[in-house]
């Protein structure tokens, strides 16, 4: 997304360092934010309670999917290994602010986010913005701490759509599926646009509700999604089909005009990899090898293990062929002996 000592002191005491008039604005704003939070809780309470129950049922026994049929699988697996305390509420809790990194400056945020924060009093906008910047800085290395910052920002600006969106995305990368889904639903109600449907669908998968992930994919058919978002949603939907044992349907879910080795885009490597992986799961090994090789050629950044998967599958096919040949030779020998 260096900081003055005054700002950090203000953050920890929940009062921006400004004139008394700003203090009054701040108090009024916090009252409004609490009221808003209560309204949001009433509006989405049923969904959130169901999400929490699903999270409890899912527990830490997340399925061992390959990287291809899930969005951000490495993050999800790491978060699953860390686990989480099921006794904690998924809703953000007001409390002492997490310590801000010195380089967490509001200038790190996208202009669009900074623009929406201008609806807040200046001192409060600075505090919320710096915590969102901290979440962005920490999301890769310390996702749980990043989530603390996002939750703190959310507790102070629950009526700002981009804050709810940031809280939801941070919760997703921290492995808090129910919380992520709740926050992204709220953000979608509060802002224009299609929302993060692929991530929401992936949360449904993670909560053990693949059928809801498929419903979201169907809902998106009438929406104008960015190309990359549309591809990610197809990948998630295919994974949901696999969760339900519909292996052939998972393959079909990924087919489309962009499944073309001759026409590559920035997301072709992921799409080709997912298609190959689902072909392999459906037992169509030779086709899977072909598409893993296509994925490897499209993967200019080396982000996938497509080449290794193609090699492994080729070896499996050869081993299976050698085994069949050996069996045929043995049967021929037995037949000759009988004669």
Question: Which tens digits make up the pLDDT trace of 64-121?
Answer: 444 444 444 444 444 444 444 333 334 444 568 999 999 999 999 999 999 999 999 9
Q: Which two tokens stand for residue 311?
A: 């090699």
Query: Are 160 and 62 part of one and the same domain?
Result: yes
What is each CA distance from 214 to 20, 38, 99, 203, in whole angstroms?
52, 30, 40, 12
Query: Are 186 and 89 part of one and the same domain?
Result: yes
Residue that is last in its domain, among 147, 177, 192? 192
Query: Are 20 and 159 part of one and the same domain?
Result: yes
Query: Are 5 and 148 part of one and the same domain?
Result: yes
Q: Which two tokens stand for residue 212?
A: 């809801």
| Local confidence band at 209 (pLDDT 50, 70, 90 cut-offs) | very high
Domain that includes residue 67, residue range: 1-192
Query: Are 150 and 259 part of one and the same domain?
Result: no
Q: Is the pLDDT of residue 162 over 70?
A: yes
Q: What pLDDT is attached to residue 193?
A: 81
Q: Which two tokens stand for residue 108?
A: 């790190």
Query: Are 169 and 28 part of one and the same domain?
Result: yes
3 vs 52 pLDDT, higher one: 52
- Domain membership of residue 227 (yes or no) is no
Residue that is last in its domain, among 177, 192, 207? 192
- Domain membership of residue 201 (yes or no) is no
DSSP 264-315: --TTHHHHHHHHHHHHHHTT-HHHHHHHHHHHHHH-TT--S-HHHHHHHHHH
Rounded to whole angstroms, the Cα distance separating 123 from 40 reads: 24
Backbone angles phi, psi at 193, to 5 degrees: 100, 180
Weakest mean pLDDT among 7-21, 65-79, 122-136: 7-21
Query: Are 187 and 276 part of one and the same domain?
Result: no
- Domain membership of residue 303 (yes or no) is yes
The count of structural domains within the chain is 2
Residue that is last in its domain, among 175, 192, 209? 192
- Domain membership of residue 228 (yes or no) is no
Q: Is the pLDDT of residue 236 over 70?
A: yes
Rounded to whole angstroms, the Cα distance separating 4 from 233 reads: 42
Q: Which two tokens stand for residue 17?
A: 């360092």
What is each CA distance from 196 to 160, 203, 251, in whole angstroms?
16, 11, 23
Q: What pLDDT is attached to residue 188?
A: 94
For residues 206-233, give the mean pLDDT.
94
């Amino acid at each position: 997304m260096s900081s003055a000592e005054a700002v950090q002191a203000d953050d920890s005491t929940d009062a921006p360092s400004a004139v008394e008039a700003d203090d009054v604005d701040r108090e009024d704003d916090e009252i409004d934010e609490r009221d808003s939070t209560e309204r949001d809780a009433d509006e989405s309470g049923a969904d959130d309670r169901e999400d929490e129950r699903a999270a409890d049922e899912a527990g830490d026994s997340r399925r061992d999917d390959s990287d291809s049929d899930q969005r951000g699988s490495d993050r999800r697996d790491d978060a699953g290994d860390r686990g989480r305390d099921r006794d904690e509420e998924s809703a953000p809790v007001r409390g002492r602010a997490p310590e801000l990194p010195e380089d967490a400056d509001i200038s790190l945020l996208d202009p669009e986010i900074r623009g929406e924060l201008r609806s807040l009093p200046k001192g409060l906008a600075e505090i919320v913005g710096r915590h969102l910047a901290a979440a962005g800085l920490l999301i890769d290395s310390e996702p749980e701490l990043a989530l603390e910052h996002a939750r703190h920002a959310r507790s102070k600006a629950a009526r700002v759509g981009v804050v709810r969106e940031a809280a939801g995305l941070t919760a997703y990368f921290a492995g808090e599926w129910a919380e992520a889904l709740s926050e992204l639903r709220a953000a979608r109600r509060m802002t224009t646009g299609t929302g993060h449907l692929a991530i929401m669908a992936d949360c449904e998968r993670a909560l053990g509700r693949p059928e809801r992930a498929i419903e979201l994919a169907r809902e998106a058919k009438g929406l104008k999604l960015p190309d990359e978002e549309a591809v990610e949603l197809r990948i998630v939907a295919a994974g949901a089909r696999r969760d339900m044992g519909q292996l052939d349907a998972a393959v079909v879910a990924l087919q489309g005009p962009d499944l073309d080795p001759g026409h590559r885009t920035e997301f072709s490597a992921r799409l080709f990899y997912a298609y190959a992986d689902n072909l392999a799961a459906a037992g169509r090994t030779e086709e899977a090898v072909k598409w893993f090789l296509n994925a490897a050629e499209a993967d200019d950044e080396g982000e996938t293990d497509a080449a290794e998967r193609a090699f492994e599958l080729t070896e499996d096919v050869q081993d299976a062929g050698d085994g069949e040949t050996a069996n045929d030779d043995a049967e021929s020998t037995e037949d000759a002996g009988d004669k």
